[in-house]
Structure 1
Amino acid sequence: MIIKKFQGATEMEAVLQAKEELGKDAVVLNVKTIKQKGLFKLFKPTSVEVTVALEETKVENKKIEEQGIKAAELKGSFNSIVDEKINISELNTKEKVEKKDLEHTSEIEKKLSNLQNLLEKQIDSKPSMEQEVVNNPESEKSETAVFAQLIYKTLLDMEVDEKYINQFIREIELIKNKDLTIDHILGNIYQRMILKLGQAKIISETKKKPKVVFFIGPTGVGKTTTIAKIASKFHVDGNKKVVMLTADTYRIAAAEQLRTYANILGVPFQVIYSSQELEECVEQYRTYDFILVDTAGHSHKNQEQTNDISEFIHCLDSKAEKEVYLVVSAATKYKDLIKIVDTYNEITDYNIIFTKLDETTSLGNILNIKMYSQKDLSYITSGQNVPDDIEVFDAQSLVKQLLGGQ
């Protein structure tokens, strides 16, 4: 894994530099503003620094050699890894690593809730497990083995699928350097989980107006409320022209709920009954920024309704810019989530919104479905308040919680 920092006058400029050097698969791990120092700092503009990562499998060996990326030492808190430039793969060698400036360690520790200390306390509370490993003559690294078991149990308690847990645990077993600390091991898993989750894919404007955004998914997952939250963010906070449509003619209450939200926001609302009416709406509101379309929630077993939604979505294939977001509840059982994403895979490509995070303490399904479906994650919601209880998905925050942090 390659992790590297880039600076620019703006975040976009820094990200473009990263993409140009590392390619489009580079993932942004951290963004921070760099303030100038010295006597003339008031006359110097601030800059933005982004930390990006890329799995080695996506980088040619020649490029790796040309870039001359060196490993960096991980010290202090586990969470300082986020701001360090490192090549995780080189941790397996015995090459001495450079000392890095840990000026921002305390700040990072606060942000990431001192996760290492939490895990070390859990290790200390399991003497029987540790003794069992120590008594095993075949065990070369008892502390590493105990730590691997702790990571396994922590992720399992969060209902991460065992298949995916084993993938991350194998990363520990592949580390042959006996001098590696818990910081190094935890950092390895932390970075790889973030890369697997990827960056959030959010709704954005296009030059060709309007962008039509479909929201699909089963009943009872909070699809209508989620649309209202997004519409409010765009219209009130972003001053964008928004239209709200519903194709959910099965539930009168859902249509009336969306109509109420539209009236409060002061944006157009319309019920559509056919793909032809949808095409007419796109033409009618061609100067608007976004057309948000609520679709009928239905069981993934109902083929007729699945076909209806497919017709709505694909009638605009050559007539408008469009995106599709599958809305699912984080409280849904993993087996059911698999059936849901498989069903909608037959309809179209999509990004995923997870709702009702406030109704579950086990967030492993988010990681499970991401790794199973390989779809981009977008937004998460955690309540009924419009527009407050929605935010862009944050991989760092989720991984921290999955590993036992706050």
Structure 2
Amino acid sequence: MIVKKFQALTETEAVIKAQEELGSGAVVLNVKTLKQRGIFRLFKKDIVEITAALEEKDFVQNISQNKPRFQNNIGINSHSINIVADEKLDAGTKSEMLEVKLDSLHNSLRNQLEKETDFEKAINEVTYSKQEEKKVVREKENNNFKFLQLIYQKLIDNDVDEKFANMIISEIEGSLKKESNIDSLLAGVYQKIILKLGEPKPIVLGKKTKVAFFIGPTGVGKTTTIAKIASTFKLEHQTKVAFITADTYRIAAVEQLNTYASIIDCPVDVVYSADEIVDCLKLYESYDLILVDTAGRTHKNEEQMTEIIDLLQKAANTKDLYDIEVFLTLSITTKYKDLVKITEAYKDVQEYKIIFTKLDETCCLGNILNLKLLTNAPLSYTTSGQNVPTDIEVINEQSLAKQLLGGND
């Protein structure tokens, strides 16, 4: 009697494999599920293993009657990926290799990225056809396909939009050699994500007084973010900081900012209309940094959005005197469809930078990459709690890329 084992994603597929090799008379003796282990378990589904048997005389008869058939193409719907059986290395060794590779890429790619800033503009100028948006990964007759498909799924699991995940995988697939090892695949995707995230743009002081406006929806944490930035500059750099608030709609908004200002000994002024902003800025023209808090505005209310735009335009008229920047503050927990609508509402605001808050409230950070590729606006800060000033940092594009690929920060 001939006894063999067969593995597949489902029991049905495993039985089909057994029948194709042993014949329709094959008998299933045992069925069990094999759990994936190591870091590769993030990418792979559990597989089913069956044990099938056939009398030797029946097997010989099948060989004489049927010629062997070979499939040269690996199809995306074949469901025949089996890394456990195909790879020479055991799962534990591969898991350790993958973790080491993700960690070591931080330092080596940092040096390489300094030499590749000329590509930043070209990378952001990406166009898509309808056909490219629909495909996940082109079918290829090499070992790249199964790994790229797993990486694609990991990006999707981290809330990266399908269009952008497909774009990254397609670009990597097209640039690799026909047969690439896991080193090349990981390094290629990791580096591609870092390049697309771009260099972070935090607040940098210059010769002119820096005026930073913070805009965004209600409840995303603009006031707390302002307090964290002010505390950092005041305590660590001894910067001369002043607050201005235009948020006279939210109950206790002015009191909240006053509380932060009194702790770090900074002045606060209130403007009640866009016409007052120019005179208010003039009061603090001798300061290094002026942080302007604005009222939270829903993107669905056109009248409220008009007030914000008017305030920013009035301030823009003083750009000869001040270095003005605008920071769109968003919560990472907001659904991507809503983030798209929010950015559309602020389309008349030119050259804003993006701050993401509440990173401590989610495990999926794909929206950071989504918004960067959607708006092409520079990323600035991320916040991850209510503690002032500790829970804020300049966005770490290398750490973010690693997390999007399933690694730990």
Q: TM-score, normalised by structure 2?
A: 0.65
Over 3 Å counting, the alpha-carbon distance change for 1:272 and 1:83 in structure 2 is same
CA deviation after TM superposition for structure 1 residue 79, in Å: 4.5
Please tell me whether the aligned partners of residues 102 and 407 of structure 2 are also in contact (alpha carbons under 8 angstroms). no
Which residue number in structure 1 is paired with residue 343 of structure 2?
341
Which residue number in structure 2 is paired with residue 387 of structure 1?
389
Gap regions ≥5 residues in structure 1:
1-75, 88-137
Please tell me whether the aligned partners of residues 171 and 189 of structure 1 are also in contact (alpha carbons under 8 angstroms). no
Partner of 2:346: helix, strand, or coil? helix
Over 3 Å counting, the alpha-carbon distance change for 1:314 and 1:86 in structure 2 is closer
Q: Identity over aligned residues, as a percent?
A: 53
Which residue number in structure 2 is paired with residue 140 of structure 1?
141
CA distance in 1, matches of 2:112, 2:264: 47
Please tell me whether the aligned partners of residues 211 and 322 of structure 1 are also in contact (alpha carbons under 8 angstroms). yes
Q: Supply the AA of the counterpart residue of 2:108.
A: D
CA deviation after TM superposition for structure 1 residue 174, in Å: 1.7
Over 3 Å counting, the alpha-carbon distance change for 1:258 and 1:78 in structure 2 is closer
CA distance in 1, matches of 2:364, 2:112: 31
Please tell me whether the aligned partners of residues 310 and 348 of structure 1 are also in contact (alpha carbons under 8 angstroms). no
Partner of 2:252: helix, strand, or coil? helix
Say whether residues 1:279 and 2:303 are aligned partners: no
Q: Supply the AA of the counterpart residue of 2:203.
A: I
Can you list the C-alpha shifts for 1:333-369, whole angstroms capped at 9, x where unaligned? Answer: 0000001111112233300000000111111011001
Can you list the C-alpha shifts for 1:16-57, whole angstroms capped at 9, x where unaligned? Answer: xxxxxxxxxxxxxxxxxxxxxxxxxxxxxxxxxxxxxxxxxx
Please tell me whether the aligned partners of residues 144 and 179 of structure 2 are also in contact (alpha carbons under 8 angstroms). no
Can you list the C-alpha shifts for 1:285-344, whole angstroms capped at 9, x where unaligned? Answer: 111001100001010011111111111111122323210000000000000000111111
Please tell me whether the aligned partners of residues 78 and 183 of structure 1 are also in contact (alpha carbons under 8 angstroms). no
CA distance in 1, matches of 2:310, 2:177: 56
Which residue number in structure 2 is paired with residue 377 of structure 1?
379
CA distance in 2, matches of 1:221, 1:196: 25
Residue from 105, 108, 115 that aligns with 1:83: 108
Gap regions ≥5 residues in structure 2:
1-99, 114-138
CA distance in 2, matches of 1:155, 1:279: 45
Which residue number in structure 2 is paired with residue 35 of structure 1?
none
Q: Supply the AA of the counterpart residue of 2:141.
A: E
Q: Which of these two proteins has the greater Rg computed from alpha carbons?
A: 2
Say whether residues 1:150 and 2:175 are aligned partners: no
CA distance in 2, matches of 1:204, 1:281: 22
Say whether residues 1:187 and 2:153 are aligned partners: no
**1:221-236 alignment runs, 5 A limit:** 221-236=220-235
CA distance in 2, matches of 1:186, 1:174: 15
Q: Supply the AA of the counterpart residue of 1:162.
A: E
Partner of 1:174: helix, strand, or coil? helix
Which residue number in structure 1 is paired with residue 201 of structure 2?
201
CA distance in 2, matches of 1:86, 1:257: 44
Which residue number in structure 2 is paired with residue 398 of structure 1?
400
Q: Supply the AA of the counterpart residue of 1:367.
A: L
Which residue number in structure 1 is paired with residue 216 of structure 2?
217
Q: Supply the AA of the counterpart residue of 1:221.
A: V
Q: TM-score, normalised by structure 1?
A: 0.66
Partner of 1:310: helix, strand, or coil? helix
Q: Supply the AA of the counterpart residue of 1:77.
A: K
Q: Supply the AA of the counterpart residue of 2:159.
A: E
Please tell me whether the aligned partners of residues 243 and 269 of structure 1 are also in contact (alpha carbons under 8 angstroms). yes
Alignment RMSD, CA only?
1.8
**1:264-275 alignment runs, 5 A limit:** 264-275=263-274
CA deviation after TM superposition for structure 1 residue 139, in Å: 5.4
Say whether residues 1:310 and 2:312 are aligned partners: no
CA distance in 1, matches of 2:226, 2:176: 49
Over 3 Å counting, the alpha-carbon distance change for 1:400 and 1:305 in structure 2 is same
Which residue number in structure 2 is paired with residue 328 of structure 1?
330
Q: Supply the AA of the counterpart residue of 1:199.
A: E
Please tell me whether the aligned partners of residues 102 and 402 of structure 2 are also in contact (alpha carbons under 8 angstroms). no
CA distance in 1, matches of 2:280, 2:252: 22
Can you list the C-alpha shifts for 1:240-283, whole angstroms capped at 9, x where unaligned? Answer: 11111110110132211111100111100111112332211221
Q: Supply the AA of the counterpart residue of 1:331.
A: T
Say whether residues 1:249 and 2:248 are aligned partners: yes
CA distance in 2, matches of 1:248, 1:357: 24
CA distance in 1, matches of 2:296, 2:312: 14
CA distance in 1, matches of 2:177, 2:291: 53
CA deviation after TM superposition for structure 1 residue 78, in Å: 4.8
Q: Supply the AA of the counterpart residue of 1:193.
A: I
Over 3 Å counting, the alpha-carbon distance change for 1:260 and 1:296 in structure 2 is same
Say whether residues 1:352 and 2:351 are aligned partners: no
Q: Supply the AA of the counterpart residue of 1:180.
A: S
